[in-house]
Amino acid sequence: MAADLKQTFGFEQVDTAERRRRIRDLFDAIAPRYDLMNDLMSFGIHRLWKRRFVRRVLAAARPATDTFVDLAGGTGDIARLLHAGGAQNVVVVDASAAMMRQGRAQPGTPRVLRWVAAEGERLPFADETLDVVTISFGLRNMSDPDAALREIHRVLKPGGRLFCLEFSQPAWWLKPFYDLYSFLVIPRLGAMVAGHPRAYRYLVESIRRFPGQKALTEKIGAAGFDDVSWRNLSFGIAAIHHARKGGAA
Ligand SMILES: C[S@@+](CC[C@H](N)C(=O)[O-])C[C@H]1O[C@@H](n2cnc3c(N)ncnc32)[C@H](O)[C@@H]1O
């Protein structure tokens, strides 16, 4: 599978700027079918995970006054849920203009959401200006997740919070079925529905390579965060990580 990836994208052989460009191009290409593919691939379960994620975020925040940035926010699923839950000040940041265009055009997208084209590794915010950063299925697509975590830490106020929803390590008994489904079914669905089997092979491979629950906890801690914890969803297929920047709440 790794050899296949090298042939299709060459991600391993290029510098981070080129890698970033290729990932952005990939999401630009799949943007029109991204939401439909998510529903099909996960049988709609991603919507339940996202609702649970946002409930957790809002329970720990002050929706009326906090500034929320949904990094790698794509078509805006998390931003819409945050707004529906009472968050007044929500900014979507994503590297792909096409993903955000798709999200803005969705019926029911609140006009008050703001959309900013930028990369997680170089956030266009001053130091210590945000209360909450959320990132849903985005960290593993960053060309340098450690740099993105340090950036998130930089822009959060003291006491600010990071919430990350990401694919993780499923329970051992689930893994063989999950791998079979991921490598056999998802690229075929990607071919039929999105017309991009290679893009979906990359996405599956990126899930496999991404650190599991404990390793991600360590990475978040290494970026400077305190009180890092996680909670599994669907037997560890995904996990919510939560962390706090030290200092006043
Ligand atoms: C799998 S999608 C997740 C979208 C959305 N958050 C969701 O949960 O459905 C990953 C998103 O990350 C964005 N992305 C990839 N690399 C990025 C980077 N370096 N900085 C910001 N966004 C990035 C992509 O454009 C894409 O919209």
pLDDT in tens, 157-182: 999 999 999 999 999 999 999 999 98
235 domain residue, yes or no: yes
| Degrees, nearest 5: CA angle 217-174-230 | 20
- Predicted confidence band of residue 13 (pLDDT cuts 50, 70, 90): low
How far from 2 is each of 62, 170, 185, 198, 204, CA to CA, in Å? 44, 21, 18, 12, 11
Number of domains in the chain: 1
pLDDT in tens, 54-106: 999 999 999 999 999 999 999 999 999 999 999 999 999 999 999 999 999 99
Distance (Å, whole) CA 53 – CA 8? 33
Averaged pLDDT score across all residues of the chain: 91
DSSP, res 157: E
Q: Is pLDDT at 207 greater than 60 in this prediction?
A: yes
Least confident of 30-39, 77-86, 230-239: 30-39
pLDDT for 189 equals 86
249 domain residue, yes or no: no
pLDDT in tens, 135-144: 999 999 999 9
37 domain residue, yes or no: yes
pLDDT for 249 equals 63
Full domain range(s) for residue 167: 2-244
155 domain residue, yes or no: yes
Q: Is pLDDT at 6 greater than 60 in this prediction?
A: no
Q: Is the dihedral of CA 13, 200, 142, 96 positive or negative?
A: positive
56 and 163 in contact (C-beta within 8 Å)?
yes
Beta-sheet pairing, 130-136 with 67-71: parallel
The Å distance, Cα 207 to ligand 1 centre, comes to 13
The Å distance, Cα 171 to ligand 1 centre, comes to 26
Buried b (16+ CB within 10 A) or exposed e, 80-109: bbbbeeebebbbbbbbbebbbebbeeeeeb
The Å distance, Cα 27 to ligand 1 centre, comes to 8
217 and 139 in contact (C-beta within 8 Å)?
no
Distance (Å, whole) CA 8 – CA 187? 13
| 80 C-beta closer than 6 A to ligand 1 | no
112 domain residue, yes or no: yes
What is the pTM for the complete model shown?
0.92
Atom number of ligand 1 nearest to Cα 20: 19
153 and 223 in contact (C-beta within 8 Å)?
yes
CATH of the domain at 185: 3.40.50.150
pLDDT in tens, 37-49: 899 989 999 999 9
pLDDT for 120 equals 96
